[in-house]
Amino acid sequence: MPSVRSFMVLPKLPQELKDLEFLANNMYWSWNPEVKEIFKHVDSSAWEKCGHNPIKLLGSVSQHTLDKLSRNQSFIRELGRAVDITKTYLKSHTWFDTLDVKSAKPLIAYFSAEFGIHECLPIYSGGLGILAGDHLKSASDLGLPLVGIGLMYQKGYFRQYLNLDGWQQEIYAENDFYKMPAKTVKDENGNDIMIDIPFPQRIVKARIWQVNVGRIKLYLLDTNLPSNSNNDRVITQNLYGGGLETRICQEIVLGIGGLKALTAMGIEPTVCHMNEGHAAFMALERIRELIKNKHMTFDEALETTKASNTFTVHTPVKAGNDEFPREMIQKYFAPYLNGLEINFRQLLDMGRINTADNEEPFKMPVLAIKTSAYKNGVSKLHGEVSRKMWSGLWPRVPINEVPIGSVTNGVHIMTWLSDEINDLYNRYIGPNWSENTCQPEDFENIDQIPDEELWRTHQRSKEQMIGFIRNRLTQQLLKRGSYHSELNWAQEVLDPEALTIGFARRFATYKRGNLLLKDPQRLIKILTDSERPVQIIFAGKAHPKDAEGKDLIRQIVRFASQYNVKRKIVFIEDYDIDLARYMVRGVDIWLNNPRPPMEASGTSGMKAAFNGALNMSTFDGWWCEGYQPQGGWVIGSGESYDDTGYQDKVESQAIYNLLENEAVPLFYTRATDGLPRAWIHRMKNSMKFITPRFNTNRMVSEYTEKFYAPAAKKWRYLTAESMARAKALAMWTANMKSNWDKITIKDVKVEPCRENSDEGSCDADLEVGSKLDVSAVVNLGQTNPDDVSVELYYGSVDSWGNILDGSSIEMGCIKPAENNGHYLFGCQLTCDKSGRQGMAVRVLPKNEDIDNPHELGLISWENPSQG
């Protein structure tokens, strides 16, 4: 190969158009309709051809067109207005400025393996990436001091197409970073900043790309450098591509390299947020930096960083949680252990549930959990599922007290809302409705939107969606070399007046993309009713290695052909943000039928609801919180089945019943003016309930108040005074762990208190309102009574004698008992519930510097034989 010297050629913008480059290089345009409109006006045809990529657009438009625009005074005025809008946004007062966090202002580093900001930056695969992109946008809107860290994938995720049999095929297209809204980060001398990432027997170099997302900087690492070996250059080639070896390399670059990149740029985060377990190695690097720079021990550094780490777990599906065999961890981390000052077994234990099982793989979510004080699922139901799923890390802790909370996901309103609905909101809610955190009361004015206006707006969105789908289908067929008759069919699919159902998501088996096909004759009857027709749009990708997921797609394509309903059922290839925007804005019903409780949250239905679509979903994920009887439908009742085949049959029939008996009649019942007023009433109910509650402005503000601000405060507290408090906490933790097994509970006594002593023994039946005196002698050994919390845990019991969703009362230390190290504790319990009740005495560690007593995994329970 010849030696190639590369250089950049930039578009020659006339002086009057220089601000186009400023706008193009900040992705704020992607969620501001007025700013985005500027690029359409440059050349609307080129804007579509370049995939809505403003950098590519400016490099492809002819110099003649640019010179002509520079003399167009109307365009110059529009450009000036767009620049003013952007600069005003970047400098304006924000929600975060109103918070009282000046003394502990956080700098939040948000790590994610993918970011879905816009289709022109294809470094995302699906929901996780879209959520991360929406998180950054809302962080920008709210003014959070946050930076994003991810990977710059040379080929991103695959592009999808189907063969003639309907089987998914994958294409990996090269991303041209120099034609994207991204620039390399340079040092003061104008050279690219490079970082060194330790790998076995070598150093892998990475450069840093910066993407401006409003007020937020997103930093993306790229290993495709000539100085790296060919194997190392492709580490950041494909998102979720390759095998375990590739995956662990990517996660080392993301976690360890990501933190090194921040350090190289002079950015010291006070809070680190891991969006899923892919970035968990970041926690190790954060510990290593403190050991090196602050001369701390591993335990001291762990306590310090853990207090300000946040971990969001996303999936209850085993395949979605990365794990590596011990041999692979040893290969990649044996040299790294020197910087951590721990041995290999200690490292393995950081990623294992059962540390006594030497064969258990190293689990990335476990590492993230063990190194984070703040942990959450992405819906209330998912929080419950996660507590059960990871309860093995706290084996003696009641499930309801496992320290994993929840922050329900949301979506970024202005990214997913149609321009037309936005105009309605501006007129009927107010021009500043989308700023800061949305309040439910603001959306009551949706009822004031005239039915005719809302319906016309929705119908325009549906027509735009169908036009887009017809064009995309035509392009799909042209690529296959189809006949003219098939091309004509593509321009005739779907009816703008028919009830339209959308189903678009990742094609994993638990999402059951084929559930509607279970009773072909019944579905055909629903689709082909001449008076009340129904049509369905499918889209989504299966993982390249998921043959079962690919087969679901093939079943849909074959069904449409076999039953001659190709105009009623369409599958659109290559699901991306662009297609998603059209679908969530244009469909009438958004269908979601995962097998409960496998859906952690789901967010596509939120996007559709913002635009007036009604959700029909199983009782799973966010829909458990978003469902209202007058705003959508529930498929089934959230039951669990051992026989999944039987479950599919029952719930597919439930969908047919809902369509035949409720949804279809409601949609086609028209008033004398032709409007489906009862349907529109449901649209309004859905919009005004879901929009203010399930958006990322609410979500990010909740993260800030529950996690970011307290974590930043704790970081500054522990790192003050030359890390003295962190070191004291580590010493206290070590002492508690070494002495904990000496703590025992005995001589537990339960007696009616004096005011109701006439009721006799506590073994007799008691009335609601009765009070009991409970005391216990606790042998604390070498532990100080101020370092523990002795509690009475009580509540209703099941048939096995287990306390369900119990509560606790702290028992006060009454006096030292006769023996050294023994103390008498006591409290009074009011019997406030009827039925079979139970109680047990327990001991937990207590320290004002730990936020949750269960974090240490230390708990001692009363032994009945000693009671």
pLDDT in tens, 455-491: 999 999 999 999 999 999 998 888 877 677 777 888 8
Residue 759 pLDDT greater than 50, yes or no? no
Those residues whose C-beta lies under 8 Å from the C-beta of residue 803, and which sit 6 or more positions away, are: 398, 793, 794, 795, 796, 797, 838, 839, 840
Distances (CA, A) of 685 to 444, 608, 613: 9, 13, 11
Please tell me the predicted confidence (pLDDT) of residue 270.
Answer: 96
Mean pLDDT of 615-639: 94
Residue 221 token pair? 């690492």
C-alpha 313/C-alpha 311 separation (Å) is 6
Beta bridge partners of 615: 590, 632
Mean pLDDT of 370-397: 96
Grade residue 627 by pLDDT with cuts at 50, 70 and 90: very high
Residue 138 token pair? 């809302």
CA atoms within 13 A on the CB side of 812: 5
pTM, two decimals, is 0.95
Grade residue 5 by pLDDT with cuts at 50, 70 and 90: low
Contact 524, 142 (CB under 8 A): no
Task: For 328-449, list the strands marked E by DSSP.
Answer: 362-363, 374-377, 405-406
Please tell me the predicted confidence (pLDDT) of residue 184.
Answer: 97
C-alpha 367/C-alpha 349 separation (Å) is 9
Those residues whose C-beta lies under 8 Å from the C-beta of residue 721, and which sit 6 or more positions away, are: none
Query: Tokens 């994003």 correspond to what residue?
Result: 148
374-377 vs 362-363, strand pairing mode: unpaired
Q: Nearest CA to 619 among 605, 59, 608, 607?
A: 605
Please tell me the predicted confidence (pLDDT) of residue 274.
Answer: 98
Grade residue 866 by pLDDT with cuts at 50, 70 and 90: very low
C-alpha 378/C-alpha 488 separation (Å) is 44
C-alpha 280/C-alpha 365 separation (Å) is 7
Establish whether the linkage from the previous residue to 597 is cis, with ω within 30° of 0. yes
Contact 193, 185 (CB under 8 A): yes
The predicted-structure confidence for 761-783, as pLDDT tens digits, reads as follows 455 678 888 899 999 999 998 89
Distances (CA, A) of 180 to 54, 218, 478, 558: 8, 13, 27, 38
Helical ranges in 563-635 per DSSP H: 577-586, 604-610, 623-626
Grade residue 319 by pLDDT with cuts at 50, 70 and 90: low
Q: Centre a 10 Å sphere on the Cβ of residue 815 and count the other Cβ atoms it contains.
A: 9
C-alpha 124/C-alpha 114 separation (Å) is 5
4-13, 692-701, 705-714: least confident range: 4-13
Q: Nearest CA to 622 among 640, 642, 611, 608?
A: 608
Contact 703, 652 (CB under 8 A): no
C-alpha 204/C-alpha 252 separation (Å) is 10
Mean pLDDT of 681-695: 97
C-alpha 456/C-alpha 420 separation (Å) is 10
Please tell me the predicted confidence (pLDDT) of residue 300.
Answer: 96
Please tell me the predicted confidence (pLDDT) of residue 699.
Answer: 97
Residue 660 token pair? 């035949």
The predicted-structure confidence for 696-710, as pLDDT tens digits, reads as follows 999 999 999 999 999
Grade residue 752 by pLDDT with cuts at 50, 70 and 90: confident
User: Which 8-state DSSP code applies to residue 373?
Assistant: S
C-alpha 219/C-alpha 192 separation (Å) is 13
Mean confidence (pLDDT) of the chain = 93
Residue 760 pLDDT greater than 50, yes or no? no
C-alpha 296/C-alpha 304 separation (Å) is 10
- The four Cα atoms 578, 584, 588, 592 give a dihedral, to 10 degrees, of 120
The predicted-structure confidence for 243-252, as pLDDT tens digits, reads as follows 999 999 999 9
Please tell me the predicted confidence (pLDDT) of residue 442.
Answer: 86
Q: Nearest CA to 115 among 81, 65, 149, 162?
A: 149
The predicted-structure confidence for 403-418, as pLDDT tens digits, reads as follows 999 999 999 999 999 9
Helix (H, G, I), strand (E, B) or coil at 776: strand
Please tell me the predicted confidence (pLDDT) of residue 863.
Answer: 80
The predicted-structure confidence for 264-302, as pLDDT tens digits, reads as follows 999 999 999 999 999 999 999 999 999 999 999 999 999
* Most confident of the following: 86-100, 161-175, 203-217, 639-653: 203-217
Please tell me the predicted confidence (pLDDT) of residue 344.
Answer: 96
Grade residue 203 by pLDDT with cuts at 50, 70 and 90: very high
Q: What is the 3-state secondary structure (H, E, C) of 178-225?
A: HHCCCEECECCCCCECEEEEEECCEEEEEEEEEEEECCEEEEEEECCC
User: Which 8-state DSSP code applies to residue 321?
Assistant: S
Residue 10 token pair? 């930039």
Residue 1 pLDDT greater than 80, yes or no? no
Residue 3 pLDDT greater than 90, yes or no? no
- CA quadruple 516, 521, 526, 528: dihedral positive or negative? positive
Phi first, then psi, for residue 756 (nearest 5°) are -130, 35
C-alpha 24/C-alpha 42 separation (Å) is 12
Starting at the earlier edge strand, list the strands of the sheet with 812-816: 744-752, 771-779, 822-830, 812-816
Please tell me the predicted confidence (pLDDT) of residue 476.
Answer: 86
Contact 824, 777 (CB under 8 A): yes
Residue 293 token pair? 């720079």
- CA quadruple 291, 294, 295, 300: dihedral positive or negative? negative
Percentage with pLDDT > 70 across the chain: 96
Q: What angle do CA 149, 153, 154 make, to 5 degrees?
A: 145
Residue 774 token pair? 């409970």
Please tell me the predicted confidence (pLDDT) of residue 864.
Answer: 58
C-alpha 178/C-alpha 412 separation (Å) is 27
Please tell me the predicted confidence (pLDDT) of residue 196.
Answer: 98
Residue 550 pLDDT greater than 70, yes or no? yes
Amino acid at the residue 826: G
Contact 297, 335 (CB under 8 A): no
Helix (H, G, I), strand (E, B) or coil at 401: helix
Contact 750, 774 (CB under 8 A): yes
Residue 867 pLDDT greater than 50, yes or no? no
Buried b (16+ CB within 10 A) or exposed e, 353-381: beeeeeebbbbbbbbbbbbbbbbbbbbbb
More confident residue, 776 or 431: 776
Element (H, E) at 739: helix 709-739
Those residues whose C-beta lies under 8 Å from the C-beta of residue 321, and which sit 6 or more positions away, are: 277, 315, 363, 364, 365
Residue 317 pLDDT greater than 80, yes or no? no
C-alpha 475/C-alpha 700 separation (Å) is 39
Residue 754 pLDDT greater than 70, yes or no? no
Percentage with pLDDT > 90 across the chain: 84
Q: Centre a 10 Å sphere on the Cβ of residue 816 and count the other Cβ atoms it contains.
A: 13
- What's the first-to-final CA gap in the chain, in angstroms? 81
Please tell me the predicted confidence (pLDDT) of residue 753.
Answer: 77
C-alpha 652/C-alpha 663 separation (Å) is 15
Q: Nearest CA to 723 among 372, 304, 375?
A: 304
Those residues whose C-beta lies under 8 Å from the C-beta of residue 366, and which sit 6 or more positions away, are: 350, 351, 352, 353, 390, 393
Q: Centre a 10 Å sphere on the Cβ of residue 743 and count the other Cβ atoms it contains.
A: 21
Beta bridge partners of 238: 156
C-alpha 613/C-alpha 117 separation (Å) is 23
